[in-house]
Amino acid sequence: MIYCGIDWAEKTHDVALVDDSGHLLAKRHITDDTAGYKILLDLLAEYGDTEDNPIPVAIETSRGLLVAVLRTGKRRVFAINPMAAARYRDRHAVSRKKSDPGDALVLANILRTDMHAHRPLPDDSDLARAIAVLARAQQDAVWNRQQIANQLRSLLREYYPSALEAFAKWDNGLCRPEARELLKIAPTPTTAARLTRTQITAALKRAGRKRGIEPETERLREAFRTDWARQPELVEDALGKQMLALLGQLTAACTAADDLAQAVEEAFPQHPDAEIILSFPGLGIQLGARVLAEIGDDRTRFADARGLKAYAGASPVTRASGKKSSITRRWVKNDRLNHAGYLWAFAALSASPGAKAHYRRRRDVGDWHAAAQRNLFNRMLGQLYHCLKARQPFDEHTAFPTPQVALSTAAA
């Protein structure tokens, strides 16, 4: 058995091959281009790499062109956490000095000694991986949009509170196109107070508003003319220019989030698992795509539902030392899936009577809100695992049977 370790970098990579005894068979220093990839594949082929029996590879990343090249065919690629690799490095040297060729050898030896303790990258379909790219990018765009909106809100509090008061009635506040259009034509409270009904109406129409324009125009005009404390004129103008710069970033972030959301809506329904995922209460296209992006469609990835729950951080973990034992939440988890699970469980409370009843039972026995939601997410994640395995849609009565049904089933 031959094992390969690759210490990757931005421009070059170090490769090491070892056998079952840990003997270093070969090492190479390759470039991050087509020529370098060819040298790597030729080296693997020289030591027995075939399509039916490929050499496993350990590397400290799960993305990039190098990983894409290695994942062709049936080869198992192991993405080793850099912190775990650092612990293994101490087994081979006490100086704690880092070297790229040495790290490649360490990675190869990780597979030689502990391959059973590490998971290869899942064998997801190309469509699932494409949905993962879009769903994660859309999630990042939403987070970025909210971060910029918070910065803009903080800035407006310093010199333009009338704008915050005017937009407080709207959902999503500063992210709405009406708010951004009004701030564009009135970057300071002085210019906002001078806006006419015609200017406000035109701004609302440019933002796409169709109904209730006249009453909204009157409300905004009164809000902009309300008396508030003011900054000195020069300072106010400078803050207005800073606000316009942030507004441009917010507009770009809103556009990116909307475009990526549209791309997700086009790609996600094409996946065979989409119908089953969307049958679950609380899961729409965007949230369902995020769930699929993190769990993938490789059915061999998780041995059972417990593995998926632990991966999502939904199931508790028991730690024991001596006579002490504690049951706590998991801190090492897939943060994206865990975040999606919190939103999923929250939305399910109003979409599923059984989910709401389960949540209330957990609260009645003493769980706090977050713990009860996490328990609900844990249960629904197990149901999702079963439905995907059995290729069945969600059924409310099966997932959350009434107490009478549950008792009769147990008696039978």
Q: Do 294 and 403 fall into the same domain?
A: yes
Tell whether 172 is covered by a domain. yes
Whether the predicted pLDDT of 257 surpasses 50: yes
Q: Do 138 and 220 fall into the same domain?
A: yes
Q: Do 404 and 294 fall into the same domain?
A: yes
Whether the predicted pLDDT of 130 surpasses 80: yes
Tokens 């996490």 correspond to what residue?
374
* C-alpha distances in Å from residue 85, one per residue of 1, 6, 65, 237: 21, 12, 22, 54
Name 99's Cβ contacts closer than 8 Å, sequence gap at least 6. none
Q: Do 105 and 199 fall into the same domain?
A: no
Pair 47, 55: CB distance under 8 Å: yes
Please report the pLDDT score of residue 412 as a whole number.
46
Tell whether 387 is covered by a domain. yes
Whether the predicted pLDDT of 60 surpasses 60: yes
Whether the predicted pLDDT of 303 surpasses 50: yes
Tell whether 122 is covered by a domain. no
Whether the predicted pLDDT of 182 surpasses 60: yes
Q: Which two tokens stand for residue 116?
A: 């059973």
pTM to 2 decimals? 0.85
* C-alpha distances in Å from residue 361, one per residue of 250, 328, 408, 409: 42, 20, 20, 20
∠ CA 369-371-374, rounded to 5°? 110
Whether the predicted pLDDT of 408 surpasses 80: no
Tell whether 125 is covered by a domain. no
Please report the pLDDT score of residue 407 as a whole number.
42
| Domain end position, chosen among 266, 284, 312 | 266
Please report the pLDDT score of residue 411 as a whole number.
46
Q: Do 107 and 187 fall into the same domain?
A: no
Q: Do 258 and 279 fall into the same domain?
A: no
| Domain end position, chosen among 117, 142, 160 | 117
Q: Do 298 and 399 fall into the same domain?
A: yes
Task: Supply the CATH number for residue 103's domain.
Answer: 3.30.420.40
| Domain end position, chosen among 62, 86, 117 | 117
Whether the predicted pLDDT of 97 surpasses 80: no
Tell whether 14 is covered by a domain. yes
Specify the long-range contacts of residues 270-279, CB closer than 8 Å, at least 24 apart: 270/127, 271/127, 271/128, 271/131, 271/297, 272/297, 273/297, 273/388, 275/393, 276/384, 276/387, 276/388, 276/391, 276/392, 276/393, 276/394, 277/384, 277/388, 279/387, 279/393, 279/394
Q: Do 171 and 237 fall into the same domain?
A: yes
Q: Do 105 and 157 fall into the same domain?
A: no
Q: Do 313 and 262 fall into the same domain?
A: no
Please give the tally of structural domains in the chain.
3
Please report the pLDDT score of residue 406 as a whole number.
46
Tell whether 325 is covered by a domain. yes
Q: How many CB atoms lie within 10 A of CB 232?
A: 9
In whole angstroms, what is the distance from residue 246 CA to residue 248 CA? 5
Chain mean pLDDT for the chain: 90
In whole angstroms, what is the distance from residue 272 CA to residue 286 CA? 16
Please report the pLDDT score of residue 170 as a whole number.
87
Please report the pLDDT score of residue 359 as a whole number.
94
Pair 162, 168: CB distance under 8 Å: no
Q: What percent of the chain has pLDDT over 70?
A: 96
Task: Look at residue 9 and give its three-state secondary structure.
Answer: coil
Q: List, for residues 321-350, the tens digit of each pLDDT value.
A: 888 888 788 888 889 999 999 999 999 999
Domain residues for the domain of 376 are: 275-411
Tell whether 124 is covered by a domain. no
Q: List, for residues 220-232, the tens digit of each pLDDT value.
A: 999 999 989 899 9
pLDDT band at 318 (very low <50, low <70, confident <90, very high): confident
Tell whether 138 is covered by a domain. yes
Q: Do 291 and 388 fall into the same domain?
A: yes
Please report the pLDDT score of residue 224 as a whole number.
93
Q: Do 289 and 387 fall into the same domain?
A: yes
Segment holding 219, helix H or strand E = helix 213-224
